[in-house]
């Protein structure tokens, strides 16, 4: 069992930046790929970014490429999502998740955090 806890969400003006963190505990020493997803009210949870277990590759949803950066520090069992040039349409609850292999679909992820709210004002 892996427990994931997100933090760093908040309210920011359009064009601003936020850095989300996801701390893992439990069996966090495993070789898990990590991903970030987001869900806005009335919408499906969607993929944002992912990173391999050893951080040798990253993947992004097209609308966030060039603005968001995913990274991880294995020694701290923590994954980050640096979000720059934020837009109102980025507003959502952001979730981190762990998978046995890197993927861009929800079903591939075994463990999920409870989410952190990101609100971008116009």
- pLDDT, tens only, 57-88: 999 999 999 999 999 987 778 999 999 999 99
Beta bridge partners of 33: 99
C-alpha dist (Å) from residue 68 to 43, 82, 83, 106, 116:
21, 5, 4, 19, 16
Q: What is the pLDDT of residue 1?
A: 79
Q: What is the mean pLDDT of the chain?
A: 93
**Does residue 42 come out as left (phi exceeding 0), alpha (psi in the -120 to 50 range) or beta?**
left
pLDDT digits (tens, 9 = 90+) for 41-52: 999 999 999 999
Closest residue by Cα to residue 32 from 59, 52, 6: 52
Report residue 122's pLDDT band, with 50, 70 and 90 as the boundaries: very high
Q: What is the pLDDT of residue 71?
A: 96
Q: What is the pLDDT of residue 28?
A: 58
Closest residue by Cα to residue 34 from 66, 6, 63, 62: 6
């Amino acid at each position: 069992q892996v427990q994931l806890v997100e933090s760093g969400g908040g309210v920011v003006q359009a064009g601003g930046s936020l850095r989300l963190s996801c701390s893992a505990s439990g069996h966090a020493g495993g070789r898990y790929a990590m991903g970030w997803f987001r869900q806005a009210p009335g919408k499906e949870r969607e993929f944002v970014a992912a990173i391999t277990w050893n951080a040798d590759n990253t993947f992004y949803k097209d609308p966030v490429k060039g603005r968001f950066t995913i990274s991880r520090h294995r020694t701290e069992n923590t994954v980050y999502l640096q979000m720059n040039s934020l837009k109102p349409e980025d507003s959502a609850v952001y979730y981190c998740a762990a998978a046995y292999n890197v993927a861009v679909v929800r079903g591939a992820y075994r463990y999920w955090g409870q989410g952190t709210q990101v609100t971008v004002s116009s």
